[in-house]
Amino acid sequence: MSQAQADEREREWAELMRAAQGGDGRAYARLLAAILPLLRARVRRVVPASFGIETEDLVQDILLSLHAVRHTYDPARPFGPWLMAIAKHRVLDGLRKNRRLRGRETALDFFDETFLGVAAKEEEEGYGDPQALRQAMAELPQGQRQAIAMTKLEGLSLKEASHASGQSVAALKVAVHRGLRALRGVLSKETTE
């Protein structure tokens, strides 16, 4: 690119940016479309492919930063150096982030989507003796029994159970906690006897 072409491009971009600052969305879209190839080329030239950083991710970071600080552009100054300063800082931030991640993470070639063991895939079984559980529940005070039934058996959230029972969420938490502790105590006695 000749110097005359570079100067013309600089004038065009600066004018588009001034119009964009004035609220012209079309000018802003034209500016972004015009600078995109330059940003991609700059990032590809500066960031080695071996770093594992996606070029498009860095370019998008640059564009987001440009969008966030577009109001700070001074129309009396050249646009190109201002844009390249933003790009430089975003690329350096990306390289620093990548370096930190590579220092803490290990790349894996593959990993299983599920656990290998059959037991891990099976549903957890409930308490072994339903009759003993019913009897232990019947021994609980009404408030604890109701709180456990709504939250643990019916699957209501604390907020839903609070609305249904008229108790506060805090009172329900206490009732569930105390009820479960009492159930554990009763059921553990039965299994040891």
For the chain, the domain total comes to: 2
- Note the pLDDT of residue 156: 87
The token pair at 106 is 């290990």
Write down the pLDDT at residue 97: 83
Residue 92 and residue 151 share a domain: no
More confident residue, 187 or 66: 66
Please tell me which of 49-58, 61-70, 131-140 the model is most confident about, judged by mean pLDDT.
61-70
pLDDT of 127 strictly over 60:
no
Query: Are 155 and 96 within one domain?
Result: no
> What is the arithmetic mean of pLDDT over 20-46?
92
The SS3 call for residue 38 is helix
pLDDT in the model for residue 113:
53
**Are 139 and 47 in the same domain?**
no
Residue 153 has pLDDT above 50, yes or no: yes
- Does residue 153 or residue 172 have the better pLDDT? 172
Mean pLDDT of all residues belonging to the chain = 83
Q: For residue 116, give both structure tokens.
A: 């290998």
**Both 152 and 188 in a single domain?**
yes
- Answer yes or no: is 148 within a domain: yes
pLDDT at 121: 45
C-alpha closest to that of 39 among 6, 103, 70, 85: 85
Contact 176, 144 (CB under 8 A): yes
CB 59 within 8 A of CB 36: yes
**How far, CA to CA in Å, does 162 sit from each of 142, 147, 150, 170?**
15, 9, 9, 9
Domain-embedded: residue 184:
yes
Per the structure, the complete domain to which residue 15 belongs is given by 3-104
Q: Does some domain include residue 109? A: no
107 pLDDT higher than 70: no
Higher model confidence: residue 22 or residue 118? 22
Task: Please give the share of the chain, as a percent, with pLDDT higher than 90.
Answer: 36
Query: What's the CA dihedral at 174, 176, 178, 184 to 10 degrees?
Result: -160
pLDDT at 117 over 90: no
